[in-house]
Structures are given as structure tokens and as C-alpha cells.
Amino acid sequence: MADDLWEYSPTCGHRTGMDLAGWSVMAADGFVGRVDEQSEEAGDAWLVLDAGAWIFGKLLVPASAVVRCEPEARTVRLALTRGQVEDAPQHLSETERADGQYREDVAAYFVEAARGR
């Protein structure tokens, strides 16, 4: 993952203004859901992954977890396994997304997940 957790890697193929809503999300070992929401804000870029029935909820994924955007296939590929996605802290609301402690928990989880690959 990128050094800055909340930024897209310059090599992932994400371009400013790219609407990822509805795109498929693939972990290193398979499909994990679809992009429900996104932010491109500098220093605060993220995806909300709707994992549907697989995880029964949504997850906040820092932009640095994206290793590749494939516009032709409308697919986002993550630097995570399905298990790492499944174990990520659940995202419940926009209010929670703004909560400092929740953001620290998410950041700590994804930093540790990147080390564990």
C-alpha cells in the first residue's frame, strides 16, 4: 500500500474525476463486492465497499489499498486478500466515517494488513 494511507498510488491508474460507484472490487483472491461511495479528497481518499451478503455490510477502504483501476472492466483491484477484507472494521455510517477513533482503528487495521501480506 502507498506510504500515505488515504491517497491513491500514482501507479494504480486512478484519475481525478473517475467515478468508481458500482464498480466491482476484487481482492487478490477473488470478488469482494462493489464500490458504494468514494472520496477523492486530497489526503482523505477512500472507498466504501458494499460487500453485500458475503460480509453483510460495508467497509471503509483507504485509497492506498487500491492497486489497480481497470476502466474497461469497471473493476478496482485491492492489495488485500478476501480474508483481510472480511476482517476489516465494518463501516456503519457517514458520522462514523468522520469519527477520529474509528478512522484511527481503520488506519491501524490496514497498515497491519499491508505488513501481513
Q: What is the pLDDT of residues 62-78, one digit of tens each?
A: 999 999 999 999 999 99
Residue with cell 477523492: 40
Whether pLDDT at 116 is above 80:
no
Domain ranges of the chain: 24-115
Which fold would CATH assign to domain 24-115? SH3 type barrels. (2.30.30)
pLDDT, averaged across the chain: 89
Give the residue with greater pLDDT, 19 vs 99.
Answer: 19
Give the global pTM: 0.88
d(CA 2, CA 46): 13
Check residue 28 and give its pLDDT: 94
Distance of alpha carbon 59 from alpha carbon 89, whole angstroms: 7
What confidence tens digit (pLDDT) does each residue in 29-57 have? 999 999 999 999 988 999 999 987 766 77
pLDDT at position 2 is 46
pLDDT above 70 covers a percentage of the chain that reads 93
Render 59-98 in DSSP notation, one character per residue: EEEEGGGEEEEETTTTEEEESS-HHHHHHSPEE--HHHHH
* pLDDT (mean) for 84-97: 83
Give the three-state DSSP class for 111. Answer: helix
Question: What is the per-residue pLDDT for 54?
Answer: 66
